[in-house]
Amino acid sequence: MKIALQLGLIPGATVADKQEWAADNGVEGIEISAGGYPPDRLDDARRDFEDSPVPMTTVCGNPSFDFLDPDPAKRRASLDQCKQYLRLCGEMGAVGQIVPPIFGPPRIPDLSPLADPLKLEKDLLVLLCKELGDVAQEAGTLLLLEPLNRYEQHLLRKQSDGVEIIERCGHPAVALISDFFHMHIEETSTPDALRAAGAHVKHMHLADNTRLEPGTGDIDYVAAFKALKEIGFDGYMAYECGISGPDPEASVKKSLAYLRECLAKA
């Protein structure tokens, strides 16, 4: 298992400074955001990471999250954006793009007794994942579906929700990202949820239950890392969190040391 940091959490004035800091501090990967590199700046991402001492691992998010909107034009715009990022991931050798398919409540109307919004959304998402999976597979990367917690998303909340879509889709380039913060809210046991998701888990997000850096809360990382080892996960785990204290650099270094201790214990 390899530890990564989101670019915005790394100390440094420039991208090159951040990459150097990451390399000097044993960070093994860097996750970028779609917000930091919008579609018209993807060439900047290519240039920034072409000779980076630490590889780009993932792109987090998408410019829009209209994948399940009733407006076909909005859906198509989100899909087209996603395809650009998947191709970027493939070019850079990244694991994939992280996509929560929707935020907030359903947008599709209730068509009961034909189908309620949840069934319509799931059926639509399976079809969209097949389309995006084809692009990801051609690029040599993954579409990573992210379950969120109940306060952010209604559709994919538990890891099993994500697994349901992935297994219905049946596409080898569609996989799961599991986030410790969201799991701490939604799952009765994070280790058991990871074991159940098994080989579908291809990336992890790191945040404590405080949504600050690991080590600031009460998540049992040793137990979770043991579960990840049991399912054969050896991928990247990227910090996606706030950073505590008046000295963010010191807080990140302390957290990195803590996580390495947890990995050693696991």
Q: Give me the pLDDT at residue 148, please.
A: 98
Cα-flanking dihedrals φ and ψ of residue 146, to 5°? Answer: -115, 115
* Interval 153-177 mean pLDDT: 98
Closest CA to 204 of 24, 31, 23: 31
- CA neighbor of 262 nearest in space, from 231, 216, 225, 236: 225
| Mean pLDDT over the full length of the chain | 97
For the purposes of burial, counting CB atoms within 10 Å of the CB of 18, is it exposed (0-12), middle (13-18) or buried (19 or more)? Answer: buried
Q: What is the DSSP letter of 228?
A: H
Domain annotation for the chain: domains and CATH numbers? 2-265 (3.20.20.150)
Say what the pLDDT of residue 180 is.
98
**Chain segment 215-241, per-residue pLDDT in tens:** 999 999 999 999 999 999 999 999 999
pLDDT band for position 135 (cuts 50, 70, 90): very high
pLDDT grade, residue 243 (50/70/90)?
very high
Contact 3, 259 (CB under 8 A): yes
Beta strand 56-60 with 236-239 is: unpaired
Contact 90, 139 (CB under 8 A): yes
Q: Of the candidates 193, 175, 63, which has an alpha carbon nearest to the alpha carbon of residue 129?
A: 175
Encoded tokens for 130: 């097949």
What is the mean predicted confidence (pLDDT) over 85-109?
A: 97
Place 89 in a pLDDT band, splitting at 50, 70 and 90.
very high
Q: What is the pTM of this model?
A: 0.96
Q: For the chain, how far is it from start to end, CA to CA, in angstroms?
A: 11
Q: Within 51-169, where are the H helices? A: 72-92, 117-139, 159-169
Contact between 142 and 171 (Cβ < 8 Å): no
Average pLDDT over residues 65-89: 98
Element (DSSP H or E) covering residue 194: helix 190-197
**CB–CB of 29/236 below 8 Å?**
yes
The pLDDT of 164-190, averaged and rounded, is 98
Q: Using DSSP, how many helices (H) and how many strands (E) does the chain show?
A: 9, 8
pLDDT at residue number 50 = 96
State the average pLDDT over residues 85-110.
97
Per 3-state DSSP, the chain is made up of helix, strand and coil in percentages (nearest 5) of: 45, 15, 35
Per-residue pLDDT band for 26 (boundaries 50, 70, 90) equals: very high
**Alpha helix locations (H) across the chain?**
15-24, 42-50, 72-92, 117-139, 159-169, 180-186, 190-197, 221-230, 248-265
